[in-house]
């Protein structure tokens, strides 16, 4: 086998792996955050055009590569749109949380403190780390 087809097939494998890695990440995390659907629309358009060109010129490597990339991009686009729709649905269905009201020792209520946004960590669950030392360690006995 000549070196030219080997270079073509290896390049096709690298290109396929990059798109597959993005889709695998989306499947693993279940989120489409940071992924533009235009990535997949562009990939489908470019791969479809290159596959048609390669078919007209008789280049088997590029026909197979671009047809496979177009198919993977269609799957990636469908996955991205589905995950975005689910994320929007979750944001709409999230019930409004009541404001936190603190009561002072004299019984007077303080103004309500708004709850953090859902994408921020709950401050009540954040654990503070203290470094042991003369101010933070156990009390010294005298």
- Please choose, from the candidates 71, 46, 17, the residue with its C-alpha nearest in 3D space to the C-alpha of residue 79: 71
For range 116-137, the mean pLDDT: 55
- Dihedral in degrees, nearest 10, Cα atoms 19, 24, 30, 31: -30
pLDDT at 1: 64
Give the C-alpha distances (Å, rounded to integers) separating 55 from 15, 33, 107: 19, 36, 81
pLDDT tens sequence across 53-89: 999 999 888 899 899 999 999 999 999 999 999 888 8
Mind listing the domains of the chain with CATH numbers? Answer: 3-93 (1.20.1280.290)
Q: What is the pLDDT at residue 24?
A: 87
Q: Which two tokens stand for residue 106?
A: 């004299």
* DSSP conformation letters of 43-61: HHHHHHHHHHHHHHHT-HH
How far, CA to CA in Å, does 77 sit from each of 53, 54, 66? Answer: 23, 24, 16
pTM here is 0.57
Q: Give the angle subtended at the CA of 94 by the CAs of 91 and 100, to the nearest 5°.
A: 120
């Amino acid at each position: 086998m000549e070196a030219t087809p080997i270079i073509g097939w290896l390049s096709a494998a690298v290109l396929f792996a990059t798109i597959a890695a993005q889709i695998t990440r989306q499947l693993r995390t279940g989120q489409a955050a940071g992924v533009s659907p235009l990535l997949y629309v562009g990939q489908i358009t470019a791969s479809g055009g290159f596959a048609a060109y390669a078919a007209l010129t008789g280049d088997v490597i590029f026909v197979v590569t671009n047809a496979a990339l177009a198919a993977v991009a269609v799957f990636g686009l469908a996955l991205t749109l589905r995950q975005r729709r689910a994320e929007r649905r979750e944001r709409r269905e999230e019930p409004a949380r009541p404001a936190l009201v603190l009561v002072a020792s004299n019984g007077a209520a303080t103004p309500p403190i708004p709850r953090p946004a859902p994408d921020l960590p709950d401050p009540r669950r954040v654990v503070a780390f203290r470094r042991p030392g003369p101010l933070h360690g156990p009390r010294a006995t005298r």
